[in-house]
Amino acid sequence: MKLYRLLTEEDTAAFCHKVSEAISKGWELYGDPTYAFDAANGVMRCGQAVTKEVDADYHPDMKLGAQ
Read off the pLDDT of residues 2-60 as tens digits, 9 standing for 90 and up.
999 999 999 999 999 999 999 999 999 999 999 999 999 999 999 999 999 999 888 88
Instruction: Answer positive or negative: Cα dihedral of 16, 22, 28, 34.
Output: negative
List, for residues 5-17, the tens digit of each pLDDT value: 999 999 999 999 9
- Closest to 54 measured CA to CA, from 20, 11, 33, 25: 25
Query: CA-to-CA distance for 35 and 37, rounded, in angstroms?
Result: 7
What's the predicted TM-score (pTM) here? 0.87
Query: CA-to-CA distance for 8 and 41, rounded, in angstroms?
Result: 14
